[in-house]
A and B are shown apart, each in its own frame.
Chain A
Amino acid sequence: GAVVSQHPSRVICKSGTSVKIECRSLDFQATTMFWYRQFPKQSLMLMATSNEGSKATYEQGVEKDKFLINHASLTLSTLTVTSAHPEDSSFYICSATSFSYNEQFFGPGTRLTVL
């Protein structure tokens, strides 16, 4: 299957700072990328869907001003958690797909801890 990378794999930051997470499709052009959040022992919750070159579509209850998503190219999407707080601590996973695939390919995830 296709390969999706995510960076960083783990980040610890102080409350009030911003954190940027990158998601890259390494061997295919991803027309659509998804960002999920996963709390311990819970399912993957879709935060937003981003199509290359257009604004992200956020799920209900997800603050677009707090979770900034940019999908500037067919191989890169970024999620910026602005003014992070301890309740934002979670496992963030991106996935990517294109019109060539039915499947979504997941990145390895980023463990965010906000102190």
Chain B
Amino acid sequence: GENVEQHPSTLSVQEGDSAVIKCTYSDSASNYFPWYKQELGKRPQLIIDIRSNVGEKKDQRIAVTLNKTAKHFSLHITETQPEDSAVYFCAAKPPEGSARQLTFGSGTQLTVLP
């Protein structure tokens, strides 16, 4: 099955700096890569996703890049703010089928210091 590795496990940045979180996946057939933000005790919220036919996607301060050859994808947050502090999870999904499950990375605790 799919295996997703995520680094770093914790990340502290100064407000206004950029944050980068990296993930690698094992199944070359995976074609959908979402990123979730989870605040303490709450549900994961989708913040951005990318499909395998695209190399980069940007939404305001958030961007995701995908390198299919190397099987890794990254989340970039620019101009970080204290409210960006949360746990971020990457995930990978195989092509459509009867079991459309996501495989999650281990998570990154991002702390933005004011």
Chain A positions within 8 Å of B, measured between CB atoms, are: 1, 32, 34, 41-44, 46, 49, 51, 57, 91, 93, 97, 99, 102-104, 106-109, 111
**Chain B binding surface, main DSSP class:** loop
Q: What are 7 A-B contacts with C-beta separation under 8 Å?
A: A43-B104, A43-B106, A57-B99, A93-B43, A97-B100, A102-B51, A111-B41
Asked if residues A102 and B101 are in contact (CB atoms below 8 Å), the reply is no
How far is A102 from B30 in the complex, measured between Cα atoms in Å? 12
Q: Known contacts A43-B106, A102-B32, A103-B34; can you find 7 more A-B pairs with CB under 8 A?
A: A41-B109, A44-B104, A46-B101, A57-B99, A104-B100, A108-B42, A109-B43
Q: What are the residues of chain B within 8 A of A1 when measuring CB–CB? A: 46
Q: C-beta contact mask, B17-45 vs A, less than 8 Å → 1, else 0?
A: 00000000000000010100000011111
Asked if residues B46 and A103 are in contact (CB atoms below 8 Å), the reply is yes
Q: What are the residues of chain A within 8 A of B100 when measuring CB–CB? A: 32, 97, 104
B102 interfacial by beta-carbon distance below 8 Å: yes
Asked if residues B43 and A107 are in contact (CB atoms below 8 Å), the reply is yes
A40 to chain B, nearest CB (A): 10
Asked if residues A43 and B105 are in contact (CB atoms below 8 Å), the reply is yes
B66 to chain A, nearest CB (A): 15
Asked if residues A103 and B43 are in contact (CB atoms below 8 Å), the reply is no
B34 to chain A, nearest CB (A): 7
Give me the 8 closest cross-chain CB pairs, A-B, nearest first: A106-B43, A43-B106, A43-B107, A108-B43, A44-B104, A43-B104, A106-B44, A102-B32
Name the CB-closest residue of B to A48. B101
How far is A103 from B50 in the complex, measured between Cα atoms in Å? 11
Asked if residues A34 and B101 are in contact (CB atoms below 8 Å), the reply is yes
Asked if residues A44 and B99 are in contact (CB atoms below 8 Å), the reply is no
